[in-house]
Amino acid sequence: MIRANELLEKIEAYQPKADLAPVQQAYVLMASSHGGQMRRSGEPYLIHPLEVASMLADLHMDVDTIAAGLLHDTVEDTGLTSEEIEQSFGADVAFLVAGVTKISKTQLAFSTREAEQAENFRKILMAMGRDIRVIIIKLLDRLHNMRTLEHLSEEARIRNSRETLDLYAPIARRLGLTRIASELEDLAFKHLNPVEYQRIAESLGRNRTEREEVIAKVTAIISKKINDTGIGAAVAGRTKTIYSIYRKMIDKGMTLQAIHDIYGYRVLVDSVEDCYRALGIVHTTFKPIPGRFKDYIALPKPNGYQSLHTAVIGPLGNQAEIQIRSRDMHRVAEFGVASHWLYKDVAGVTQDGVNQGYKVIRQLLEFQQTSLSSEEFVEHVRVDLFPGETYVFTPKGEVRSLPRGATPVDLAYAIHTDLGHACVGAKINGRFFPLDTVLSSGDQIEILTGPRAKPQRRWLRFVVSARARSAILYWFRKQEHEEAIEIGRVLLDQVLHRFDHTLDELTEEESKILSDHWRFSVDELCHRVGLQRVTPLDALVPLIKEKGWPHRKERGVRRPLGIARMDGALIRLGTCCMPVHGDPLVGLIQEGRLVVEIHHRECPRVRALSDPTVHCLEVNWAPKGEEVYTARMHLVAQDRPGMLASITNAVAELGINIRESRTVNRVGRIAELIFSVQVHDAGQIEELTARLRYLEGVQEIGRLFKEQEEEDPDRQNDLVAAEAYKSGLESPSQSAIQESTHE
């Protein structure tokens, strides 16, 4: 147990001019507040905050952070308040203490323990967004608690260990606090899998003397070889941690006896040039293992970590991993985010508390903004905490780190949310690929975008980064909210038409009648009607009764439903029948989809409709505009020379563009052709049908109405968009595909 005077001496060693009065005052206040309290281990409670403060000093943290470490449990476990802490120590210390204080059970009602834990973790990470010192204190608080975990019940040990392994250890590693992360992993693994932990520990214990001899011998060889060249190098060796050995067994499917690379060595030199010189010496001294070299100096990890990693066969035939880095790089590797402080003076840090370029905080804030619940937020954090394993290049030569298995969509969202929303394809190393292509390290990626492109739900099946998943889900939630309002307006207008009114024509007084009755705005009423939480007639009854409107019979001609507003929010043309202007229509609203889908009346889906969750609307075309529609055609003809040319010429003479065509069946000398044409209305299709019907050899011609193809149409759109970009043609869903300018 460290004593108060020893803590002060430790701080003075790296901050000789610091004012230690806040630490002394914090100790006195902590000791009096926790006086008489005991831990589960039977020790005085004040031991815990003292140990946390000592570990903060080991990281060379500032005086305010150490004072907060001493006080971090006072608000939660004693009668001390945040206001009293702020009055005595200032706003910074009070904020740090509040950041690591759990939410009181009396503040919020939680349905489950998991929900409570998730909300507490969310609170901590959001405080980290303002000051990263919050999470450093919390990590060391968790580390000391894990060191004394054996005094808790088995259920509590397992719960805390799982949370530590899933959340706290990964975030420590993401922040570059490697030693803390490794100890958290080992301690959690010890309680989650005690049998396997003990087996590995006993095996390492039996061979301890032999391992120490190997480490000493290899360390001496490396040190002599490098220092003999005039490079001042410090070399140290160690055995890998128990959990890292276990992960290697699992990842590689190997037994403990088959794991040979349990040795790790670190070489510290003075400069970047010396790093590469030392690497050359290591590779000439020992045989390097192919495929095991990684250059994190040229391509740093997201947390700023830099080093050269290589694996070699040692003098005794054992595999060894060697890390080579400068002493400045080692400081970052040891202290992680704590090494990024931007000091204003000896005793203080900047208000932000961390380098502005640090990306972890921004990602967490984005997850906070786009997550519906604390549980979803924590799941996004859990998925995205592990550092990327794939390094790719943008067209400008910038390096981007992505999780293993990442796709162009993940990269697009990593660059900018708007770029992700607009992507339609990608050029990988100069070639066109669909959006679900898995990227490899070293690839150069150019994201292709379309001005009217939008996210696709199928992207959720292959994106791997939490940032991409979170942004896509948020976009759809926002769209669904807006679509629900639009659908509600359509349904309410259908009722109001019976009384010669529309929503847009309601006076301020009439709108107030509705809002006063329902106690929310007319827009919210539309939203609830669109979600079918309120029927359209029930929603309007208060207004109808108040105004005494007489009910009129339906007129023969319905008011058109604004189908010309094809902005993707309200109207979507069915891809199974692909109606064009002038076709007889029916609109379908499916519960949960929140969009009106327009179909040809003869569409097989409409004729076979039996789903009670799908509701039909009568819709009409608005006046004809300049829209271009795509229609599928089916043609059966003799398979004779020049047949395809005759068809193409006939279509071209009518000024109609063939977008794509393919032969789907050949039986003898009969060919079956499916092709898509771009037209302005149904009249053009009738004219085309008549022209083709009289071509020599044509046996059958007509519109093709069919159910959705088994192949995902969204994926086909990706491929067509990429081909359109390549050939300069217009995409079916975007008027133009243009190169990304987002950064």
Q: Which residues are catalytic?
A: 76-77
H/E element holding 677?
strand 670-679
What does the alpha-carbon distance between residue 141 and residue 552 come to, in Å, rounded to a whole number? 72
Q: Please give the structure tokens belonging to residue 716.
A: 């086909």
Distance (Å, whole) CA 200 – CA 190: 11
**Cα-based distances in Å from 506 to 286, 411, 487, 502, 543:** 84, 47, 18, 7, 10
Q: Are 148 and 41 in contact (CB under 8 A)?
A: yes
Q: Nearest Cα to 599, choosing from 630, 578, 620, 582?
A: 578
* Residue 112 CB partners (closer than 8 Å, separation 6+): none
Three-point CA angle 648, 651, 657, nearest 5°: 95
- CB neighbour list of residue 179: distance below 8 Å, 6 or more residues apart: 334
Phi first, then psi, for residue 701 (nearest 5°) are -150, 140
DSSP readout, 14-25? H-TT---HHHHH
CA–CA gap between residue 428 and residue 407 (Å, rounded): 11
The phi and psi torsions of 677 (rounded to 5 degrees) equal: -120, 155
**What is the Cα–Cα distance from 131 to 353, expressed in whole angstroms?**
5
CA 430 to chain centre: 27
> Helix, strand or coil for residue 494?
helix
What are the residues facing 614 on neighbouring strands?
Answer: 590
Only one residue has tokens 């302005």, namely: 680
**H-helix segments, 519-669:** 522-530, 536-547, 604-607, 643-653
Question: What is the C-alpha separation between 692 and 701, in angstroms, rounded?
Answer: 7
Token couple for 187: 């301690």
635 in helix, strand or coil?
strand
In single-letter form, the type of residue at position 710 comes to E
Q: For residues 81 and 209, give the distance between their C-alpha atoms in angstroms, rounded to a whole number.
A: 53
CA distance 132 to 74: 20
Positive or negative CA dihedral for 210, 213, 215, 221? negative
Contacts of 25 (CB under 8 A, 6+ apart): 67, 88, 89
Q: Which residue from 359, 492, 342 is spatially nearest to 414, judged by alpha carbons? A: 359
**Number of neighbours of residue 695 by Cβ within 10 angstroms:** 15
